[in-house]
Amino acid sequence: MTLLSNLVTEAQIAARSVADYVSGTGLRLGVTGLSRAGKTVFITSLVHNLTQGGRLPVFRASADGRLTRATLQAQPDDAIPRFAYEDHLASLTIDRTWPESTRRISELRLHIAFERRGSWRARNASLTIDIIDYPGEWLLDLPLIGKSFAQWSRETLDASAASGRATLAAAWRGGLQGLAPDSKGSEQVAREQAERFTAYLRAARQDRYALSTLPPGRFLMPGDLEGSPALTFAPLPVEEGRTYGSETIAAMMERRYESYKTHVIRPFFRDHFSRLDRQIVLVDALSALNSGPSAVRDLQTALSDVMQSFRAGRSSLLSTLFRPRIDKILFAATKADHLHHTSHDRLEAILRVLTARAIARAEDVGAKIDVIALAAVRATREGAVRHGNEVLDAIIGTPLAGEEVDGEIFDGSAEGAIFPGELPADPRRALRGDALAVPESEADYRFVRFRPPVPQAGDDGLPRPLPHIRLDRALQFLLGDKLE
């Protein structure tokens, strides 16, 4: 049955790929990242800078003056919500608030008119880009397709016993005591177990812990599936290879796990993920660093799992038509504006260590990989502060209301100069838990949350393109070859 399902899925993917090619889609760019990595902000800034002529010196088509025009076009897929670009831009530039996190898939079509470099072919050209925004938690679900209920249960229970998770999982694991997998199935028991398991996943994702490997992803953002049997299951200490009676709690949980794969994971893979050409994975490495070595190692595992899900490899006309491959993947450490520029290279080096296994896997099949540190919207500027007899590099911005720095609580309107600390020169220290060279007594200086910057108006009264750090480098890697 699994083989037949896979064959049907591949045939459906091929049919959609041919339809995309005939309809004129030039490139499908996937944008994802784990919780609070800045997906919505990245897309909004990308579109705003391209459509409003932002300063993008590393993006060659822009630097050469060959970008003629970039415009938004009608939503290409009637079955997918449109990315609410205008609403998100208003949040950033009018309300000076960060947009809400990605909770569902959305799409936006961008049309770029440009001039080619060479003169041997038509100089005027265009590229249509479909930007697909989806929660990174859904991406972490894809490996479940190849795992049985028993295997997933074993891996999840083992992970929950680790030092960084044991306390968080105590209530859920306690509820498993005395629950025999071969006992009679009960809707009430299934619901109680699912609620305790979901509470554990939710606690592990909080800022204090910042853990990343938390499938099933829809348990944390159920949408219209909330309360359905497909989300009412949890791991059990079942024996691998053993068949349980159809009326047992183990059989009930396994049926619902398989239903989750059939009705949630496979449609996402077939209809959206498998059709991507390029991918950027946004990573909030700073939150993991601030939460300690357990969170950092967990993030490393999550990034490796993410890479296993990508259909990476060299792209060709044949693969474009029948089996699309992601030929470029960019891992980006976000919130670089929370650090002084002297630590940007170090943040990038830490992300490179975290993604080393993932990069090796992708490069083996011919995909191109890059790693950068960026801020899609720069919320701070740099300065210097005096600390005793020292003058320290600082970042200056408007902390969010309620943020506390050295005993001072900010109201959301006053600026503050913050010493963010320095990342280590040796990126391997990040895995040992001593990433930030900041005394424990000054932990509040680490990562203060800032409001978006005060918008600057142009001569036409409209907001100028959003300021950024290395957005142009990201664009060059992801799109540059298509605009030559």
Spatial distance between the Cα atoms of 432 and 429, rounded to a whole number of angstroms = 5
Q: Is pLDDT above 70 for 20?
A: no
Q: State the Cα–Cα distance between residues 36 and 15, nearest whole angstrom.
A: 34
pLDDT of residue 97: 96
Q: In this structure, what DSSP letter does residue 338 have?
A: G
- DSSP symbols for 339-386: S-GGGHHHHHHHHHHHTHHHHHHHHHTT-EEEEEE-BSS---EEEEEE
Between 298 and 153, whose confidence is greater? 153
> Does residue 53 register a pLDDT over 80?
yes
Homologous superfamily of 2-134+272-378+468-483: P-loop containing nucleotide triphosphate hydrolases (3.40.50.300)
- Statement: residue 134 has pLDDT above 90: no
CA-closest candidate to residue 49, choices 483, 469, 446: 469
pLDDT (tens digit per residue) in 358-408: 788 766 667 889 999 999 999 999 998 877 788 888 999 999 999 887 788
- Chain-centroid distance of CA 134 in Å reads 8
- Half-sphere exposure at residue 165, Cβ-oriented, CA atoms within 13 angstroms: 25
**Sheet with 381-387: strands ordered across:** 381-387, 390-397, 416-418
- pLDDT per residue over 429-475, tens digit each? 877 654 444 333 333 335 788 999 999 887 777 779 999 999 999 99
**What proportion of the chain, given as a percentage, has pLDDT over 90?**
52
* Res. 338: pLDDT tops 90: yes
Residue 149's closest CA among 318, 262, 270, 283?
262
Quick one: pLDDT at residue 153?
A: 96
**Buried b or exposed e, range 409-429, using 16+ CB within 10 angstroms:** ebeeeeebbbbbbbbbeebeb
pLDDT confidence of residue 24: 44
19 phi/psi in degrees, rounded to 5: -65, -40
CA distance 373 to 375: 7
Q: Span 134-153, mean pLDDT? A: 88
Query: What is d(CA 391, CA 404) in angstroms, rounded to the nearest whole number?
Result: 22
In this structure, the number of other CB atoms found within 10 A of the CB of residue 292 comes to 16
Taking only the tens place, the pLDDT of each residue in 64-92 is 999 999 999 998 888 889 999 999 999 99
Whether 323 and 19 have beta carbons less than 8 Å apart is answered as no
- Is the distance from CB of 409 to CB of 403 less than 8 angstroms? yes
Ranking 96-100, 236-240, 428-432 by mean pLDDT, the lowest is: 428-432
State what percent of residues in the chain have pLDDT above 70: 86
Q: How many CB atoms lie within 10 A of CB 154?
A: 18
What is the reported pTM? 0.85
Alpha-carbon gap, residue 241 to 246, rounded angstroms = 15
Region 336-342 average pLDDT: 93
The pLDDT tens digits of the residues spanning 164-205 come to 788 999 999 999 998 999 999 999 999 999 999 999 998 888
Check: CB of residue 447 under 8 Å from CB of residue 284: no
Q: Are 152 and 253 in contact (CB under 8 A)?
A: no
CB atoms within 10 A of CB 69: 12
How far, in Å, CA of 155 to CA of 147, rounded?
10
C-alpha atoms less than 13 angstroms from C-alpha of 283 in its C-beta half-sphere: 33
Residue with tokens 């049985």: 148
Which tokens belong to 39?
């997906």
**All structural domains of the chain with their residue ranges:** 2-134+272-378+468-483, 148-258, 381-445
The residue among 107, 151, 158 whose CA lies nearest residue 129 is 107
